[in-house]
């Protein structure tokens, strides 16, 4: 799954990476090394500009709210639960299939966090001595330091309780697509810890390699079968993972120190 990630690149950097044509300076976000659901995040998307005479799609960098709210929802309350869409079923689930066909985006990140329960902590949980076991967080990122381009969907939702000219009348929300985690060895694995992404968690965000960016963002591509081909996992051996401080478990912490690699896990792990 994807429940937290780090995002430190600014608009200028992202504009160069993704060939952004349009972004508004007032939509600039501060670097956030602990992005959590319901926060505003950067999204790259191809879409015609509003009220423009030219109907061609323009590559834009937009601020969206993480937690997708389907257009048909009566309230936005379910958005916090729709942070992830499974690649295997995204084309058929009512909450995602319309967005999958027409509103796809890329959510740029440095990498994502995932938690592993330690052996001793798990034994305490099984024995009923501790209800909430401590978990060791790991940071997962491309081994070459490139951007982690997560496949995403976005959707528009109209708040019918507000007038058309109200700044919050329209919500634009998004979801991260996830896939099965790789079972092959990590490109760079910690000395003491997991050897593959599947050792950390059975799911992972679907990373799009640059050769798929244009096809994924192209709104003229609406055939579900053709689009599903873009959901194939990336080549193996591109990722690394390392343990980080348990401070990342608190959403109020969001500084760059969260990415510091630990020499050894703080919590005993399964490995």
Task: Give residue-wise pLDDT tens across range 7-57.
Answer: 999 999 999 999 999 999 989 999 999 999 999 999 999 999 987 788 899
Quote the pLDDT of residue 163: 82
Confidence tier at 129 by pLDDT (50, 70, 90): low
Fill in the DSSP letter of residue 229: G
The dihedrals phi and psi of 230, each to the nearest 5 degrees, come to -75, -10
Specify the higher pLDDT residue, 208 or 189: 208
Judged by DSSP in three states, 125 sits in helix
The residues carrying an active-site annotation are 2, 114
Residue 270's pLDDT is: 61
Q: How confident is the model at residue 271 (pLDDT cuts 50, 70, 90)?
A: low
Secondary structure element (H or E) that encloses residue 177, with its range: strand 170-180
β-strand 104-109 against 148-158: which pairing, if any? antiparallel
**184-194 mean pLDDT:** 90
Question: What is the pLDDT of the chain when averaged over all its residues?
Answer: 91
Segment 166-187 shows an average pLDDT of 93
Q: Tokens representing 110? A: 């440095």
Mean pLDDT in residue range 199-216 = 96
**Average of pLDDT values for 129-133?**
57
Integer-rounded Cα Rg, in Å, for the chain is 19
């Amino acid at each position: 799954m994807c429940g937290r990630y780090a995002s430190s690149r600014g608009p200028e950097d992202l504009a160069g990476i993704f060939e952004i044509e349009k972004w508004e300076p007032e939509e600039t976000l501060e670097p956030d090394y602990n992005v959590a659901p319901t926060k505003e995040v950067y999204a790259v998307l191809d879409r015609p500009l509003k009220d423009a005479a030219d109907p061609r799609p323009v590559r834009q960098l937009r601020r969206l709210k993480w937690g997708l709210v389907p257009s048909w929802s009566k309230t936005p309350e379910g958005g916090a639960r729709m942070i992830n869409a499974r690649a295997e079923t995204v084309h058929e689930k009512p909450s995602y299939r319309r967005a999958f066909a027409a509103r796809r985006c890329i959510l740029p990140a440095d990498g994502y966090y995932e938690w592993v329960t330690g052996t001793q902590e798990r034994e305490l949980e099984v024995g009923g001595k501790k209800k909430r076991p401590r978990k060791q967080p790991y940071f997962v990122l491309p081994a070459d330091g490139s951007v982690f381009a997560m496949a995403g969907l976005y959707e528009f939702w109209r708040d019918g309780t507000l007038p058309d000219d109200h700044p919050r009348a329209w919500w634009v929300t998004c979801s991260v697509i996830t896939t099965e985690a790789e079972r092959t060895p990590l490109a760079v694995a910690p000395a003491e810890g997991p050897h593959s992404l599947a050792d950390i968690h059975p799911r992972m965000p679907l990373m799009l390699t640059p050769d798929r960016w244009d096809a994924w963002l192209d709104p003229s591509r609406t055939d579900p079968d053709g689009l599903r081909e873009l959901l194939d996992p990336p080549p193996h051996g591109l990722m690394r993972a390392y343990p980080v401080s348990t401070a990342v478990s608190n959403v109020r912490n969001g500084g760059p120190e969260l990415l510091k690699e630990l020499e050894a896990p703080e919590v005993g792990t399964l490995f």
